[in-house]
Amino acid sequence: MAQRPFQTGAVVNLAAGESAKDVVVCTILAKKRFEIKFLGINGFGHPNQPLFYAMHVTTKSVLGIYPIALTGSSEIAEPEFPMRYFGSQEAILYADPKSDLIFSVARKDTTGNVRVFINLCGMLVDI
């Protein structure tokens, strides 16, 4: 079974007034499975405005939604995005051929803009 390293990512932008958004990070190629090993998030928003993050992954034709817990936050000197939320974690997720990897960001308070970067790495495996 041939395999090769694979990395992909996406950006989610929430405008003022938007509470949630899903983006397709990528669509897995036919006859390939993406074995996700590691993911990282860098989010930029506002103080006292926690964000919810989740990956939607289809494995054996079943959609699973996996919330992601971040490890930290810090204030930064950026007027539009004065707070940075970040984290990376090891993961073991398997994405089916031809399935969409979907990343979700949600928030309760919709004041201001939010920008979140997600990066995934692992192995693309022939099946």
**Per-residue pLDDT tens digits for 8-30:** 999 999 999 999 999 999 999 99
pLDDT band (50, 70, 90) for residue 48: confident
- Provide DSSP, 32-62: EEEEEEEEEEEEEE-TT--EEEEEEEEETTE
Query: Which among 100, 90, 98 is positioned nearest to 120, based on CA atoms?
Result: 90
Task: Quote the pTM value.
Answer: 0.93
- Average pLDDT (35-52) is 94
Q: What angle do CA 17, 80, 21 make, to 5 degrees?
A: 35
pLDDT at 98: 98
Query: Which among 98, 97, 104 is positioned nearest to 41, based on CA atoms?
Result: 104
Instruction: State yes or no: pLDDT of 34 exceeds 80.
Output: yes
Q: Distance (Å, rounded) from C-alpha 80 to C-alpha 117?
A: 16
pLDDT at 121: 98
DSSP annotation of 15: -
Mean pLDDT over all residues of the chain?
A: 95
